[in-house]
Structure 1
Amino acid sequence: MPDNLTPEQRSYCMSRIKGKDTGLEMRVRSELHRRGFRFRKHVKELPGKPDVVFTKAKVAVFIDGDFWHGYGFSEWRHKVSDFWKKKIQSNIERDRRNHEELVKMGWTVIRLWQHDLEQDFNRCIARIIEAVRG
């Protein structure tokens, strides 16, 4: 399906999308806080600046949008321009590198996908709690 916006309009629209403190991140953090958990967010000292960090438990949580982080990318990569193919592929590779670095540092890494949070939010929260409690 062709894009109905000019490249300049599309660029402007995409530039307005938030990179952190997204609705899903805020919802996850709010629920964890409501349940009594305390954490840090977007810790610069850790690879990938995880969205939610439990320092004592060494648990790093990433909340990833399906498009930006390439969920099932091989199934839909043919539908996007070369620019987006390159951008999303580099995001996937960067995510993989950050994951590996964190594991080498002794961290437990949880990656929550947008579609998983939308389908079963409580199960995603339970995954985090299980990891934090050990």
Structure 2
Amino acid sequence: MDRHSLEQRSKNMAAIKSTGTEAEIKLGKGLWHLGYRYRKNNKKVFGKPDFTFKKIKIAIFVDSEFFHGKDFLTKKKPISNAEYWENKIIRNMNRDRLVNDTLTHEGWTVVRFWSKEVLNNISNVIEEIEKLYNDKSKKF
């Protein structure tokens, strides 16, 4: 059973941001501090990635575990409005696959991180991005 009333749960879910999350800000600051210059939520790139390096075609997404269905098949499902949330998360997962496929077809390298991965292992995430950035820059 949910600890919150339906009204409180609705307020909580409505307050969750789609951009400018704690994980995105932490990753952005880390990359900027190291001298990497990126575009944030570039509307000209399909799927509006959280970070883009347009010249070398790298698109980075920081996905929320809940909204993007991490361990969706094995994880406990929401109790309140279960059908709505299940459909929404499945749509999000399908859209993520479409975005990945489209960008890859257009020559982009797509990288997705879970928000908790960014928050808990920022140095590993930045190291992975640096390696990819350096590898793609050499080809340019």
Match of 1:93 in 2: 94
Which letter maps to 1:65? S
Decide whether the 8 Å contact of 2:23 with 2:116 is kept in 1: no
Decide whether the 8 Å contact of 2:26 with 2:119 is kept in 1: no
**Structure 1 position 20, deviation (Å):** 0.1
Match of 1:73 in 2: 72
* TM-score of the aligned structures, taking structure 2 as reference length: 0.89
Which letter maps to 1:128? I
Task: Give the number of aligned pairs.
Answer: 133
Match of 1:106 in 2: 107
Decide whether the 8 Å contact of 2:78 with 2:85 is kept in 1: no
**Structure 1 position 72, deviation (Å):** 0.7
Which letter maps to 2:130? I
Q: Which runs of 5+ in 2 are unaligned?
A: 136-140
Instruction: Point out 4+ residue stretches in structure 1 off by more than 6 angstroms.
Output: none
Give identity over the alignment, percent: 35
Moved more, 59-68 or 2-11: 2-11
- Check if 1:35 corresponds to 2:34: yes
SS in structure 1 of the partner of residue 61 of structure 2: strand
| 1:29–1:78 distance in 2 versus 1, CA, 3 Å | closer
Residues 44-96 of structure 1, C-alpha deviations (whole Å, 9 max, x = no match): 12121000000111100000111111111101154541111111111111111
Residues 12-36 of structure 1, C-alpha deviations (whole Å, 9 max, x = no match): 2111111101111011000100000
**Structure 1 position 6, deviation (Å):** 3.0
Q: Which runs of 5+ in 1 are unaligned?
A: none
